[in-house]
Each structure stands twice: as C-alpha cells, then as structure tokens.
C-alpha cells in the first residue's frame, strides 16, 4: 500500500516515542528533523542535570518545536532522581499534610527543575482518587481517598508546575483509583455507576480542567458505565463524549503507555494507537518497553493505513496534530531558576505521623545504633527498580554503626528473619515495611519479629494499614528519599514529632 507523505507527516506528529541511552540515537535525530513532534524520556535517559539539559538541547537542534515529556510525579515515581531517590515526597504525603500552598510550592519546584532540563510536559499529577486501599498501581501516587481533597491538591500541583512554564498532564482519566488490577498487565474494570463516577473519580479532573491543565492522560480502564467493551483510551464515549463534550476539555489528550497489556495485548501496538486517535486521543505515548525505530514505523504506518481503510478520518488525525503543535508552542512566562530541594524535606517532615504504645518512652529516641530490617516488596512497573528507599542509609549517617538487613519475600521464608533478630540482639530494632497491609508475607514477618521484640519500632513507608504494631509506629506516607530522612530524624530525636 502506497502511503501519502502528508498523512505520514501527520502520523509522525501524534507520536511520542521513547529511546534508549543518555544521548539521542541517530534514528531519533533523523525523525525529529523530518517532523517527529516529540519524545518521552525515562530514567534510562537521565544521568545528571547537565547531561539531561544537553540531551534536550541536542534534540531541539534537530527540531526546535518539539514536545519533551517525562513522568516526574516525585515520590515513588521519579525519573530525574531514580538513581538517588526523590528529594520531594509524593502526592499521598502532600495530601496528609493538606496544605495547598505547600503542594503548589512542590509542583513549582519540580517545574523549575524540569524547565531547566529542557522538559516541556510532565505526565503528572496523578489525579486518581485512591478509594481502593488494595490498589496495586496507584496507592501513594494519589493525594488520598477523599475526592474533594484530591481535587484541591490536583489543582494546586498543576498551578505550581505550570507557573514554572512546564505543561501539566492530569492522569489517569477517568480515574484509576478504584481498581485492583494493574493496567500494565491486564484490563482493570471500574463498575460503578455514572453518578458514582461523577461524585468521586471525576471531581479531580473537573478541578484540573478549571485550573487550565494543558493535557490529560488516559487510563487503560474498562469503565462499564460508559463503555462495556473498549478501555477508556480507545473509547469515543469516554474521550469524546465525556471528556471533550461533557467536561469541556479542549487541551491535549495523551495516552498512557500504549504497549501496556490492557490495550496492546488485545489490539496490538499499531491497532491500539489507531483506535486511540479515532476515539479522541491526540498523542500516543510509547517507548517504555518498545523503544526502537521499528516500533515507531509500525505505529505510524498503521495509523496511516487506518485512514486509508476508513477506520480513522483524516480530519480527526489532523485535529490531533494541531493540538500537539499548539502545546509544543506553549510556554508560560516563568523563572529559569532551578528547584531548591529544601521544600521537599520540609514537606516530608510535615507528613510523618507517630503513634506511641506501651513502653515507647524507653524506645525513642534511639539510644544506640540500631539494626534495621527492611521488608522490600515487588513494586509496580511505574516505579523504577532499584531506586533507593528506606531508613537504613539516613540512619547510618546519623547513628554510625547502624546495620541493615533487606529482605524480599523469598528470603523472608528461609530463616532470614531469625538471623536478623540475632543481629539485633542487645541493639534497638527498627522494622521498615512498605504497604504491609497488601503483602501477607510482610505482616507475617513483622508479627513474628515483634513477638520476639515487642520493643521494636515499625516504620511504614507505604499506605499505613495498622498503626498498632510495635512500641512505636512511624508512618511516613511515602518512600521517597526525603521520607526516609524524615523518619530517621524522628528516630534519633533530631526532629520533634
């Protein structure tokens, strides 16, 4: 099939591909020079601030009017600081503090760093209402379970980020919070009524639209009240009828990673992309897993073929391209100053909550270097593997001689907890968990260790389920590096509770 050069250029405009490496490969440079409208960056593309700024400058040397996107939520989902852990807490901690001015300051701080690095759109904030505490993919990425609180802080975060000249992108429309399935692996189902959606999931997106959010990212969710067959990313009823017509959003609609199994597993990369554009999406995000030129070629050609076959109108494709170019040319007036980092630690300190039980007075502050046992669960694919977290490292700096045992589920079943208790003999014991309520193995190990050491301190760095565990229970409401620092300061008495 001979493909029209004009249609090929339009299709290039709606693609946001990723690539591997800290410098741009030849194929990316060539395609940008030929009209590719942008790229999406991942932690594999980021080494240092100077390197990242050099990379984006090199991309713009090929095409000055491009979108450069990244997932920088702070907290658990950071690309700028994946190697060190985030210097800012994530949404849940900000929701616990519930200070909209602080949330706006954190958003602005992130925006300044992104703008200095040459990034133009941040795929954040997550505007999902975490109404299901067992949600495997949202959790700490949400501002909380109260839709009005999430709406207020979503608006504040957007206000801060966009004041720095970086476009915000509220996600995952129409709301991924009330799910128990990770869309990276399968199709989550949202089965509540339209009335319930309006009262919970849609509140934050309405607030985002009122705030002037420049983009909204779709969720790969089957929202049965609107469409019982197609996930939201592929559904005209959700992207056109609900988002465009009912909610009145006229900015850029970008898909979540199109290679995720919830959509590509059924329709293929190209098929899902063409369906998404036809449904009302304007830009296809791809490259988390499929980051080569062949993938871009496949998606582009499939979109063009869909026009030729009558599955996608040329007007719809052209409309999508216009929105992409409009966002690429947008930039609010803002300072070029980089973020300060100080606001992040201040926010993390304010988010800590301490619950004391019998005997707590004899436990805190720690009188000697402790043994720290960190129970490390598997994380979802949105979180970079190997990103530093926990209290062991910051405690080691404050109390030299601190030792750390980190256990994953297989290790926790082979006698390692007993050995860790032996390492903690005659020393304070600190047990660090992460979403313990979602992981039975963590609860099993935790209860077993506390039975032997009721004076143990529990630090929960995920969603706090039970606060009755340990002589002292410390909830950080996040696992960012600064959350670990804030917990270490409480443990050593450097910060008041």
Which residue numbers are catalytic? 184, 256
For residue 399, the SS3 value is coil
> With DSSP H G I counted as helix, E B as strand and the rest as coil, what are the percentages for the chain, rounded to 5?
45, 15, 45
Q: How many CB atoms lie within 10 A of CB 214?
A: 22
Q: Which of 134, 183, 73 is nearest to 463 (CA)?
A: 134
Cβ atoms of 64 and 114 within 8 Å: the answer is no
Cβ atoms of 436 and 314 within 8 Å: the answer is no
Q: How many CB atoms lie within 10 A of CB 37?
A: 23
Alpha helices in 173-331 (DSSP H): 194-199, 202-211, 236, 261-279, 293-308, 314-329
The contacts of residue 228 (CB under 8 Å, 6+ apart) are 222
Cβ atoms of 457 and 491 within 8 Å: the answer is yes
Alpha helices in 337-480 (DSSP H): 342-351, 392-398, 409-412, 416-423, 440-452
Distance between start and end Cα atoms, the chain: 68
Cα separation of 398 and 265, whole Å?
A: 48
Beta bridge partners of 375: 407
Q: Tokens at residue 256, please?
A: 């979540």
Q: How far is CA 110 from the centre of its chain?
A: 13
């Amino acid at each position: 099939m001979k493909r029209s050069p004009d249609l090929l250029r339009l299709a290039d405009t709606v693609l946001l591909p990723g690539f591997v490496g800290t410098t741009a490969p030849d194929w990316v440079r060539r395609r940008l020079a030929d009209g590719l409208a942008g790229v999406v960056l991942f932690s594999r593309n980021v080494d240092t601030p100077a390197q990242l700024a050099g990379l984006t400058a090199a991309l713009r040397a090929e095409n000055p009017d491009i979108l450069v996107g990244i997932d920088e939520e702070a907290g658990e989902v950071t690309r700028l600081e994946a190697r060190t852990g985030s210097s800012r807490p994530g949404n849940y901690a900000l929701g616990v503090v519930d200070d909209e001015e602080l949330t706006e300051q954190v958003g602005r701080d992130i925006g300044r760093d992104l703008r200095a690095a040459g990034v133009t759109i941040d795929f954040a904030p997550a505007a999902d209402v975490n109404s299901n505490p067992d949600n495997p993919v949202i959790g700490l990425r949400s501002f909380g379970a109260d839709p009005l609180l999430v709406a207020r802080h979503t608006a504040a975060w957007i206000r801060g980020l966009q004041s720095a000249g970086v476009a915000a992108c509220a996600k995952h429309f129409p709301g991924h919070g009330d799910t128990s399935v990770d869309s990276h692996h399968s199709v989550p189902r949202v089965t509540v009524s339209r009335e319930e959606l309006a009262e919970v999931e849609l509140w934050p997106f309405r607030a985002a639209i009122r705030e002037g959010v420049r983009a909204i990212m779709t969720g790969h969710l089957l929202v049965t009240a609107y469409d019982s067959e197609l996930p939201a990313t592929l559904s005209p009823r959700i992207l056109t009828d609900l988002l465009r017509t009912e909610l009145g959003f006229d900015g850029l609609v970008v898909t979540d990673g199109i290679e995720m199994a919830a959509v590509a597993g059924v329709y293929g990369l190209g098929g899902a992309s063409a369906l998404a554009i036809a449904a009302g999406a304007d830009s296809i995000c791809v490259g988390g897993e499929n980051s080569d030129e062949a993938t871009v070629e496949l998606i582009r050609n499939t979109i063009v073929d869909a026009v030729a076959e009558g599955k996608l109108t040329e007007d719809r494709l052209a409309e999508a391209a216009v929105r992409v170019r409009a966002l690429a040319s947008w930039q609010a007036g803002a300072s070029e100053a980089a973020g300060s980092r100080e606001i992040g630690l201040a926010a993390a300190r304010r988010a800590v909550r301490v619950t004391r039980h019998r005997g707590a007075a004899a436990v805190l502050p720690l009188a000697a270097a402790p043994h720290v046992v960190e129970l490390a669960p598997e994380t979802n694919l949105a979180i970079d593997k190997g990103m530093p977290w926990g209290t062991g490292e910051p405690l080691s700096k404050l109390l030299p001689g601190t030792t750390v045992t980190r256990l994953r589920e297989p290790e926790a079943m082979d006698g390692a907890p007993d050995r860790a208790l032996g390492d903690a003999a005659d020393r304070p014991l600190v047990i660090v968990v992460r979403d313990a309520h979602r992981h039975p193995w963590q609860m099993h190990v935790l209860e077993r260790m506390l039975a032997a050491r009721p004076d143990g301190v529990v630090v929960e760095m995920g969603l706090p389920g039970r606060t009755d565990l340990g002589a002292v229970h410390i909830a950080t409401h996040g696992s960012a590096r600064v959350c670990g620092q804030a917990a270490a300061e409480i443990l050593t008495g450097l910060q008041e509770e």
